[in-house]
Amino acid sequence: MPFTKIVYQIIFSPKYRASVMIKKSRANLFQYMTGAIRNKNCHLYQINGVEDHLHILTSVHPSISLSSLIKDIKISSNAFIKENGLFPNFTGWQDGYSAFTYSFNSIPTLIQYVQNQEEHHKKVTYIEEMKALFKEHGIEFDEKYL
């Protein structure tokens, strides 16, 4: 049995980063995603987001690849959103995602960061947030993909 504790902050958006995730329905989506993550034996610490993107803070079970987890979350939540009419203008999730690893000691700070997304994005745009995260983690990027 492997013993691991890899903490990920995962960020992805609706197609074209459209601002379609209306506030009144986000809690239903996050509750659904919580179940999907836990069904994969992953430990969810926090999930939250704003109109145009979401953040998932989780540890991934060693038997699951990160890309597989994200693919499963996107496929199942896409169907859930459409079946329940959560976001009328939602056309699907973007193809890609961003994922950043953190130390176990960072979890309390990260939980607060994810919980405070609405307040955070009153001051910082998505693009500014992503640039800062890429810089913090030493990831080279092309702005046209943001």
Domain residue ranges in the chain: 7-145
The SS3 of residue 10 is strand
Residue 144 has a pLDDT of: 80
Q: Which CATH class is domain 7-145?
A: alpha beta
CA distance 55 to 102: 14
Over range 16-38, report the average pLDDT.
Answer: 97
Return the ∠ at Cα 40 (arms to 104 and 62), rounded to 5°: 50
pLDDT in tens, 69-106: 999 999 999 999 999 999 999 999 999 999 999 999 99
The SS3 of residue 5 is coil
